[in-house]
């Protein structure tokens, strides 16, 4: 989102993507076959498909207020 707000295009987002990752997603990204990724949209889809079940979200207002 930072790249987009700064006027960055999709190729800029793709370049900075690995720098924004924590260790586990970075390990996934490092093992990703380059032939699978040909666009920013494709990379986003692959990332979400891989990590969608891992993400926990607040279910109540109290849980949301306690997010850090």
Confidence bin at 2 (pLDDT 50/70/90) = confident
Task: Give the model's pLDDT for residue 68.
Answer: 63
Task: Give the model's pLDDT for residue 1.
Answer: 78
Average pLDDT over residues 7-23: 87
pTM for the whole structure:
0.65
Confidence bin at 55 (pLDDT 50/70/90) = low
46 vs 56 pLDDT, higher one: 46
Per the structure, the complete domain to which residue 34 belongs is given by 2-65
The number of folded domains in the chain is 1
CB atoms within 10 A of CB 60: 8
């Amino acid at each position: 989102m930072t790249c987009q707000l700064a006027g960055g295009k999709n190729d800029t987002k793709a370049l900075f993507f690995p720098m924004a990752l924590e260790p586990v997603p970075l390990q996934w990204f490092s093992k990703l076959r380059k032939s699978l990724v040909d666009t920013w949209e494709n990379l986003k889809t692959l990332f979400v498909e891989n990590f969608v079940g891992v993400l926990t979200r607040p279910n109540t207002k109290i849980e949301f207020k306690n997010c850090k």
